Chain A
């Protein structure tokens, strides 16, 4: 399977704990995006990378959130001191990097903060 993969698919944690999610994009895709989706709403942009450079961050991305893409391949999204409001589906997408390219989405990581 050469699609976007995410790990884990589900995560249950207690409030105050730190969590880390991983995204593996489609091979050779330069751009990688993170979105958050809550029930009944569409995905909301969080941040994106061009290779290893983080080019844009949403105001939704508080200082408890950090994302990295150290070698321009996989990416990690870490949430520190989780809150119940962080419960959501976290989606990763990748694209080739051209102006009007298609973004391919992974299956998502569903986070539940108790």
Chain B
């Protein structure tokens, strides 16, 4: 079945550091790929998405490129801020129904 594997956390960085959170997937067909973010006390929010190979999703300084050859969708940001502290979830969807999520990576950014 479909699965998503995320880099284990927690991840702690200093402000303005470079961020990478790894995500790899296994899926049948041609999935769409997503990164969601969950800030403390809030619900899941879509951060960015990519719907086909080589697409790059971007939002709020975050980027991820759909790599079909390595089945990966790593999340990156060049300079993190304290306000980026949250839990980040990688997810895929192969049809118009269910999404399959990774277990989440907790990011803490210290000033």
Contact = CB atoms under 8 A, between A and B. Distances in A.
Given A42-B103, A43-B101, A31 B44 contact: no
Given A100-B51, A102-B46, A107-B42, A42 B101 contact: yes
Contacts of A45: 97-100
Interface residues of B, number: 23
Contact of B89 (A42, A56, A102): A42
A93 B99 CA distance: 11
Interface residues of A, number: 28
Which one of A45, A101, A104 has the highest number of Cβ atoms from chain B below 10 Å of its Cβ? A45
Nearest to A105: B44
A42 B49 contact: no
Given A42-B4, A43-B44, A108-B43, A103 B96 contact: no
Given A42-B89, A43-B44, A106-B43, A48 B102 contact: no
Give the interface SS of chain A, mostly helix, strand, loop or mixed: loop
A67 B10 CA distance: 35
B22 interface: no
B80 interface: no
Contacts of B36: 105
Interface of B: 4, 32, 36, 42-46, 49, 51, 89, 91, 93, 95-104
Given A91-B44, A104-B46, 12 more contacts: A4-B43, A33-B97, A41-B103, A41-B104, A42-B4, A43-B101, A48-B97, A56-B98, A99-B95, A100-B96, A103-B99, A106-B43
